[in-house]
Amino acid sequence: MFVRVFFPFSGTNACYDYISKSEIRKGEIVVVNENDQEKIGITYFIEKDLPAFDEIKGMVIRKADSIDLFDFWREFEKVLLDKGVGLSYKAYNSYMMTNGNFGIPAEIAKKKLTRNLLLAHKPSRVYITHDKCMSLQYGAMRIYYRNGKIFKIENHKKPPRDWKKDEVSYTYFSKLLGIEGL
């Protein structure tokens, strides 16, 4: 099986091709072996037959286990906290239409959305859009993130049935980002 793996924290939206002997689905977080090093990425494209024209970088070792998932999401949190997030004009306007955010300054919106990404549900499968955005869910809000920037926000009427706000982490990240009480 031919698998294209997306590395969202590379800063370049890098995708490379790998061979997988096990059955993998699109969006699964996987561990690959490239030049005798393990890297964690997200399956972006899957094909049963190996194309003759693409360069194969290595082999998919396994689907991510709980430790790999922890490492993947910890790296995501590190990127967010070290660099913050950028915000497209479209995403900023959409965010101002969400409850309690009308007229919010862009810098505060960036911090609040950074907090929301930090608190987003951390699944073992991640939806990747055709333009390589990671799609993450925080409550009723779906956030599309790529290369340190939020490109789109969709706000649904209700959060998913099993979603519950983590008040302790919410307070912690609000203080850390300097937006306590917002």
| pLDDT tens digits for range 113-123 | 999 999 998 88
Residue 85 in tokens: 């997030």
pLDDT(6) > 70: yes
Distance CA 116, CA 143 (A): 9
Q: Which residue has the higher pLDDT, 16 or 114?
A: 114
Compute the average pLDDT of residues 8-20: 82
Domain boundaries, the chain: 2-64, 84-177
Tokens 């399956």 found at = 43
Is residue 69 classed as helix, strand or coil in its secondary structure? helix
Fill in the DSSP letter of residue 93: H
C-beta neighbour count of 164 within 10 angstroms: 8
Q: What is the pLDDT of residues 139-159, one digit of tens each?
A: 999 999 998 999 999 987 788
Q: pLDDT by residue (tens digit) across 62-111?
A: 999 999 999 999 999 999 999 889 999 999 999 999 888 899 999 999 99
Task: Record the tokens describing residue 176, joined without a space.
Answer: 């850390």
| Residue with tokens 């333009």, as numbered in its chain | 131
pLDDT value, residue 1: 84
pLDDT at 150: 96
